[in-house]
């Protein structure tokens, strides 16, 4: 199998996920403009950060005038899972040249990782796997930029019956429900969700951070229960 076939395979396998990614990108574009960002800031953020969930949180924090330290901490916390993605691909990618590792690290997002890691696990001895990740990553990048631009251009001109605001929690829900696979993950989810309601009236958007800390703590102390079940 040559590199172009693997690259094309990555593109084709990534395409179905764009049904969820594209509306998400449109919402981001709309929210970014409504939060007060300029069209240029809204559009370039999709290239500079290139992380859907963190960009949504960014515009929410900008809209609530949160200080930059809170914004950076929240973005870093949200994207920290990418550290694990990268770590799990270490064996496959560490032998590549530096320029390849830089490009693939930039493209390593949720949807690209989810598709490519299955290929990596299935064919661990294939020396051209990086072309697959390049295919999934570039597909996602192109789709995300296009969707962002569409959202910016549409602004608030969406039909009334299309209440796309629901798709953000829905997309996150679709991602995290399969990750709840133990008592401790369930406890972490419930405690962070319920405590976020309790903390919601706090200023400076501290509720995300505090709820996250509560969930992390509860998950950590209940992890012993996983082994007993």
121-160: contacts with other proteins (CB under 8 A): none
Rounded Cα distance between 19 and 25, Å, is 11
From candidates 41, 145, 146, 150, binder to other proteins by CB under 8 A: 41
Contact 221/212 with Cβ under 8 angstroms?
Answer: no
Half-sphere exposure in the Cβ direction for 158 (13 Å, CA): 17
Of 1 and 36, which has the nearer Cβ to other proteins?
A: 36
- Looking at residues 6 to 35 of the shown chain, list those that interact with other proteins (rule: CB under 8 A): 16-17, 19-20
Whole-number Å distance between alpha carbons of 184 and 152:
40
Q: How far is the CB of 8 from other proteins (least distance, A)?
A: 21
Interaction between residue 4 and other proteins (CB under 8 A):
no
Could you say which of 1, 5, 84, 153 contacts other proteins (CB under 8 A)?
84
Closest by CA position to 56, among listed 70, 38, 75, 40 = 75
- Binders of other proteins among residues 161 to 220 (CB under 8 A) are 161-163, 165-180, 184-185, 188-189, 192-197, 200-201, 207-208, 211-212, 214-216, 219-220
Count residues near other proteins (CB under 8 A): 86
Among 5, 48, 154, 204, binds other proteins (CB under 8 A): 48
Q: Which two tokens stand for residue 112?
A: 């690209």
Q: Name which of residues 61 to 80 contact other proteins (CB under 8 A).
A: 62, 68, 71-72, 74-80
Cβ at position 123, least distance to other proteins in Å: 20
Q: Pick the closer one to other proteins by CB: 1 or 200.
A: 200
Using the minimum distance from each CB to other proteins, give the nearer residue, 7 or 24.
24
Q: How far is the CB of 63 from other proteins (least distance, A)?
A: 11
Phi and psi dihedrals of 51, rounded to 5? Answer: -155, 105
Report in angstroms the alpha-carbon separations of 116 from 75, 92, 125, 189, 203: 24, 11, 14, 27, 40
Q: Supply the angle between the helices 18-34 and 167-176 in degrees, to the nearest 10.
A: 130
What 3-state DSSP class applies to 203? helix
* Sign of the C-alpha dihedral computed for residues 55, 56, 59 and 65 taken in this order: negative
* CB of residue 126 to other proteins, shortest distance in Å: 18
């Amino acid at each position: 199998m040559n590199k172009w076939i693997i690259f094309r395979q990555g593109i084709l396998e990534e395409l179905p996920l764009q049904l969820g990614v594209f509306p998400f990108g449109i919402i981001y574009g709309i929210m970014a403009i409504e939060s007060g960002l300029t069209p240029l800031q809204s559009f370039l953020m999709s290239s500079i950060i290139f992380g859907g969930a963190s960009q949504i949180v960014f515009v929410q924090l900008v809209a609530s005038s949160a200080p930059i330290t809170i914004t950076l901490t929240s973005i870093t916390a949200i994207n920290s899972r990418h550290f694990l993605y990268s770590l799990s691909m270490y064996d496959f990618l560490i032998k590549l040249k530096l320029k390849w590792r830089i490009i693939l690290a930039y493209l390593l997002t949720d949807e690209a990782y989810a598709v490519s890691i299955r290929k990596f696990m299935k064919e661990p001895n294939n020396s051209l796997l990086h072309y697959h990740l390049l295919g999934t990553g570039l597909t996602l990048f192109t789709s995300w930029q296009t969707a962002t631009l569409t959202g910016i251009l549409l602004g608030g001109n969406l039909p009334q019956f299309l209440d796309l605001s629901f798709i953000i929690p829905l997309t996150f829900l679709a991602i995290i429900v399969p990750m709840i696979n133990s008592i401790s993950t369930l406890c972490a989810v419930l405690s962070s969700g319920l405590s976020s309601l309790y903390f919601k009236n706090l200023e400076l958007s501290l509720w995300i951070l505090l709820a996250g800390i509560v969930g992390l703590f509860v998950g950590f102390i209940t992890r012993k229960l996983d082994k007993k079940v």
